[in-house]
Amino acid sequence: SFELRATKKNKPVKGVVSCSDAQPSSAEELRGIGIVGFFRGKKLLITGATGFLAKVLVEKILRTMPDVGKIFVLIKAKNEAAAMERLQHEIIDAEVFRCLQQKHGKSYQAFMLSKLVPVVGNLCESNLGLDADSVDVIANQVDLIVHSAANTTFDERYDVALNINTRGPCQMMSFARKCKKIKLFLHVSTAYVNGERQGQIMEMPFRMGDCIARERLNTSGTPQRPIPVLDVEGEMKWAVDLEETSQENEVAQKFKKLGMKR
C-alpha cells in the first residue's frame, strides 16, 4: 500500500510506504470471501515473479496470508545457484517487500526462504525445463498455478513472442495436467481482452481462433467480410519455415518486421 504524505508546505513525498494501512481494518474484511482460509497451507507454482505483476502478487500473498505453504518460483537460470541469486536480488531484496521487511525484522530473510523455492526452468520447454526430481515434487505437491510470465515488448521478434506468449501457456497447461492436487490454474494474459469496447463488458467464452475484430465487425453495422481464423499451429510452422529459408544475417530483421505486421 503506497501513499503520499504532505509536508507543512503541502508538497507530497513520494514513495512512502504505510505498512499499517496494508492490514485488514476489520474482522469482516479479514474473513473476506474465504480466500485467506483457502490459501492456508496451499502450495503454489508461480511464473513471472521476477517481473512486475507476479512479484506484487507474491508480496500480497506473503503479507496477508503468511500461513500459505511453499511458493515454487520458476526462474530461468543456468543452475540452482544462479536461480537463488536471482531470487535474492530480484524478489527478496525488491523495494515492494519493504512492508514485509519491517514486519519480520531480522527474521525476514529466514521467513522468505522458508516460503519461496526457486526452481530452475524454461517456460518454452517440455515439463517447463525442470529436472526429473523437480517435476516429481511439484506435480505431487502444487495446489495452484499462477502463470504470469510473458514477453511484453510490443515490437518483439515474431518467433520470440510466439515462443513465450503462445507456446509458453501451452507448456504450462500440459504441465498442469500432471499436477495431481491442482485446484486452480490462473493465466495472466498479455492480450487486451476488451479491445476498444466501452460500457458493461460481458464475460463470454472465446473459441480457438476467435477474436474481438469479428465481434466488432458484427456490431458495427458495416457489411460483413470474412475474417480469417487464427491458426496458432500454422503461425508457429510459418515462423520455423521462415527461419530455415532465411540467411543467418537476415533472420533477426525479418522476424522483427513480421512481429510488427502480425
| More reliable by pLDDT, 207 or 89 | 89
C-alpha cell at 70: 511453499
Query: Confidence class of residue 114 from pLDDT cuts 50, 70 and 90?
Result: very high
Average pLDDT over every residue of 165-181: 93
Q: Please name the residue that has the C-alpha cell 467464452.
A: 205
> With 60 as the cut, is the pLDDT of residue 14 above it?
no
C-alpha cell at 112: 522468505
Mean pLDDT check: name the lowest of 100-114, 152-166, 222-236.
Answer: 222-236
Query: Confidence class of residue 2 from pLDDT cuts 50, 70 and 90?
Result: very low
- In this prediction, residue 160 carries a pLDDT of 83
Taking only the tens place, the pLDDT of each residue in 119-134 is 999 998 999 999 999 9
Query: Confidence class of residue 206 from pLDDT cuts 50, 70 and 90?
Result: low
CA 203, 207, 209, 215 dihedral sign is negative
- In this prediction, residue 213 carries a pLDDT of 62
Query: Confidence class of residue 163 from pLDDT cuts 50, 70 and 90?
Result: confident
C-alpha cell at 79: 543452475
- In this prediction, residue 89 carries a pLDDT of 97
Q: What is the pTM of this model?
A: 0.75
- In this prediction, residue 231 carries a pLDDT of 72
Which class would CATH give 36-190? alpha beta
Taking only the tens place, the pLDDT of each residue in 33-92 is 788 889 999 999 999 999 989 999 999 999 999 999 999 999 999 999 999 999 999 999
- In this prediction, residue 121 carries a pLDDT of 96
Q: Where are the domains of the chain?
A: 36-190, 211-262
What's the mean per-residue pLDDT of the chain? Answer: 81
> With 80 as the cut, is the pLDDT of residue 255 above it?
no
Q: Please name the residue that has the C-alpha cell 473476506.
A: 32
Task: Output the CA–CA distances (angstroms, integers) from residue 17 to 9, 26, 102, 158, 235, in the order listed.
Answer: 20, 21, 10, 40, 46
8 Å CB contact between 136 and 178: no
- In this prediction, residue 3 carries a pLDDT of 35
- In this prediction, residue 223 carries a pLDDT of 59
